[in-house]
């Protein structure tokens, strides 16, 4: 690794402008039009304890940033203080002096401890499992607290990157914005308070869900919205440029995959999952449906992460796929060449629907009659979380870390238990490896176990990887200064300005 986990004491002790201190209460800017953003899907859950969908997680970066973030080498560094490993079973975090939430309430060690205890004690929270190796939290000083660990582990620092921070009494975050309103269609208004008001940030941001991609672009043309992030199909990029809009495209860290439900009698069989993987021409999907604005998804981790292992992509092999279905799963073709019927659930996003239709045609060549089940996002998300899908088109976004493998592949981390194992993956080897990963004591162990998890996943196929999609930013003609990051988040919006 380019920076050691053991050198936490040397991490920058600088308070980012995403957290609030009294010094942030500078002169207010004049009233101006809010920054208006059109998004494909509304955030599902804005409670920082319960949010697990991508739209909510991205928005919460602006309202409830975590205590730590990743640096360019994917090592956790402090935003609101510093965290130091004092002993194998002890991590001490010191908060920045004068830290305030968006309501102006002081936020110290006592508030941090109560919040993390709340997260750990909320069974339905997808974040609770990240703190499984913390035995106890203890306030040491007004701005300092300790985490006593059950066993030596480096994963706790990655956990603090993923857990949004909030005032345990009010739920107020420590970001530059607070959520002022969410309407019945999912539009969300964010606004800075007097505490967080800064001259160089948009005073208000409005996120409006608009399902159709073409409509989103037309709204940009009509000056009804100011910026589009991520929700721009590849085929519309040339059109946006022709119309004079500034377009930025960068390689993203998202990971799109086909999710098989291991509780399903068919998909619990390795031969069926393997046949599906071999029947899909994934390079063709990326080149045609995504117009090349995607790369091979070799790992859940960002490809440049020190613990990433570049898994080889399953090649297209129609003959081997058909043989697996017939000899491995006993599925004999009927008079029309069909062996089995399956159902694929997916969102109603236009690009996703085209992807599903192309996959339907591909798997038909090996005798799989794939029935498509397009669903409005909220219903689709609920169906996946509740295990009511057979196959589903899904994606993970953000800068994922090695402990994430525990959340998604450990058999005890199902949604019912507050985890993210939405496919009900149940593999003894993955359980053992992910448990060991959460208890890793050295950097070398983290890398070794992460690679072992990735290699096992490539064998048993809890997911069938499809692509890593590029991120697209389109700015309206009156907007400048917006940037993007590889995780597709919204922090780049803080630089947006009107010309």
pLDDT tens per residue across span 365-409: 999 999 999 999 889 989 998 899 999 999 997 777 888 899 899
CB-CB contact of 423 with 259 (8 Å): yes
In tens digits, what is the pLDDT along the chain, a chain of 499 residues?
333 333 333 223 322 444 554 433 333 334 568 999 998 888 888 999 998 888 898 899 899 989 887 766 556 666 666 888 888 789 999 998 888 888 889 999 999 999 999 999 998 898 988 898 899 999 999 999 999 998 777 678 878 888 999 999 999 998 889 999 888 888 999 998 766 655 578 889 999 999 888 899 999 999 999 999 877 877 788 889 999 999 988 887 789 999 999 999 999 999 999 999 999 999 999 998 888 788 899 899 988 888 999 999 999 999 999 999 999 999 999 999 999 999 999 998 888 999 999 999 999 999 999 999 999 988 998 999 889 999 999 999 777 788 889 989 999 999 888 788 999 999 999 999 999 998 887 888 989 999 999 999 999 999 999 999 888 889 998 899 988 877 777 888 888 888 8
* E-strand stretches of 238-280: 246-250, 255-260
Order of strands across the sheet that contains 227-229: 178-182, 188-191, 204-209, 35-39, 227-229, 471-475, 246-250
Q: How far apart are CA 345 and CA 286, in angstroms?
A: 20
Same domain, 363 and 417: yes
* Per-residue confidence (pLDDT) for residue 440, from 0 to 100: 83
Q: Which of 115, 132, 162 is the last residue of a domain?
A: 162
CA separation for the pair 38, 41 (Å, rounded): 9
How confident is the model at residue 75, as a pLDDT? 61
> Is residue 167 situated within a structural domain?
no
205 and 327: one domain? no
Residue 224 Rama label (left phi>0; alpha psi -120 to 50; beta): alpha
Give the domain CATH number at 61.
Answer: 3.90.76.10
Query: Distance between CA 194 and CA 100 in Å, rounded?
Result: 12
Q: Quick check: 66 and 157 in contact, CB under 8 A? A: no
Taking residue 332's Cβ as centre, other Cβ atoms within 10 Å add up to: 10
Domain range for residue 223?
178-252+471-498
Please tell me the pTM assigned to this model.
0.69
The answer to whether position 284 is within a domain reads yes
In the block, residue with structure tokens 């603090």: 160
Residue pointed to by tokens 């539009």 = 187
In a domain, 36, yes or no: no
Together in a domain, 80 and 58: yes
pLDDT at 5: 33
Q: 247 and 266 in one domain?
A: no
Rounded distance, CA 152 to CA 437, Å?
Answer: 11
Are 153 and 117 in the same domain? Answer: yes
What SS3 state is found at 232? Answer: coil
Burial of 460 (0-12, 13-18, 19+ CB in 10 A): middle
3-state class (DSSP) for residue 443: helix
Q: Which of 446, 447, 431 is nearest to 309 (CA)?
A: 447
**Alpha-helical regions (H) of 22-154:** 54-63, 109-121
Examine residue 32 and state whether it is found in any structural domain, yes or no: no
Question: Is residue 169 one of the residues assigned to a domain?
Answer: no
Report the distance separating Cα 41 and Cα 188, nearest Å.
11
At 1 the pLDDT is 37
Does residue 429 sit in the same domain as residue 293? yes
Task: Please state, in angstroms and as integers, the Cα–Cα distance from residue 495 to each residue in 40, 203, 498, following that order.
Answer: 22, 12, 10
Number of domains in the chain: 3
Residues 485 and 421 in one domain: no
- Based on the fold, state whether residues 414 and 267 are members of the same structural domain: yes
3-state secondary structure (DSSP) of residue 27: coil
Residue 127 token pair: 């974040």
């Amino acid at each position: 690794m380019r920076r050691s986990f053991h050198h936490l004491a040397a991490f920058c002790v600088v308070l980012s402008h995403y957290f609030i201190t009294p010094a942030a209460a500078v002169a207010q800017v004049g009233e101006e039009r809010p920054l208006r953003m059109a998004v494909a899907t509304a955030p599902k859950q804005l409670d920082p304890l319960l949010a697990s969908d991508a739209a909510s997680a991205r928005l919460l970066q602006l309202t409830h940033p975590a205590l730590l973030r990743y640096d360019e080498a994917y090592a956790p560094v402090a935003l609101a203080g510093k965290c130091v490993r004092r002993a194998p079973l002890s991590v001490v975090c010191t908060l920045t002096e004068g830290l305030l939430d968006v309501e102006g309430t002081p936020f110290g060690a006592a508030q941090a401890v109560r919040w993390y205890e709340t997260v750990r004690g909320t069974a339905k929270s997808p974040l609770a499992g990240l703190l499984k190796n913390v035995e106890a939290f203890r306030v040491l000083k007004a701005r300092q607290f300790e985490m006593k660990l059950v066993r030596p582990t480096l994963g706790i620092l990655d956990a603090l990157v993923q857990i949004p921070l909030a005032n345990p009494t009010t739920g107020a975050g420590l970001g530059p914005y607070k959520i002022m309103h969410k309407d019945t269609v999912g539009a969300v208004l964010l606004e800075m308070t007097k505490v967080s008001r800064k001259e160089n940030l948009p005073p208000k941001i409005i996120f409006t869900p608009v399902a159709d991609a073409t409509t989103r672009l037309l709204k940009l043309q009509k000056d009804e919205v100011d910026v589009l992030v991520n929700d721009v199909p590849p085929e519309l990029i040339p059109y946006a440029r022709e119309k004079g809009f500034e377009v930025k495209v960068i390689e993203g860290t998202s990971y799109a995959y086909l999710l098989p439900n291991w509780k399903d009698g068919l998909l619990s069989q390795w031969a069926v999952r393997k046949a599906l993987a071999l029947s899909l021409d994934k390079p063709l999907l990326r080149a045609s449906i995504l117009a090349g604005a995607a790369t091979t998804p070799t790992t859940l981790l960002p490809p440049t992460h020190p613990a990433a292992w570049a898994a080889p992509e399953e090649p297209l092999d129609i003959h081997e796929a058909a043989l697996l279905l017939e000899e491995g799963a006993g599925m004999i073709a009927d008079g029309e060449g069909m062996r089995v019927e399956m159902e694929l659930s997916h969102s109603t996003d236009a690009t996703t629907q085209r992807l599903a239709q192309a996959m339907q045609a591909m798997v038909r060549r090996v005798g799989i009659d794939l029935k498509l089940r397009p669903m409005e996002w909220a219903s689709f998300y609920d169906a996946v979380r509740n295990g009511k899908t057979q196959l589903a088109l899904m994606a993970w976004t953000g800068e994922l870390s090695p402990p994430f493998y525990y959340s998604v592949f450990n058999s005890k981390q199902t949604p019912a238990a507050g985890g993210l194992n939405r496919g009900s993956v149940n593999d003894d080897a993955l359980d053992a490896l992910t448990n060991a990963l959460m208890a890793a004591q050295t950097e070398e162990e983290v890398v070794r176990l992460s690679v072992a998890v990735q290699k096992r996943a490539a064998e048993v196929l809890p997911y069938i990887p499809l692509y890593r999609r590029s991120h697209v930013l389109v700015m309206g003609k009156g907007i400048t200064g917006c940037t993007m990051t590889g995780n597709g988040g919204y922090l780049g919006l803080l630089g947006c300005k009107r010309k």
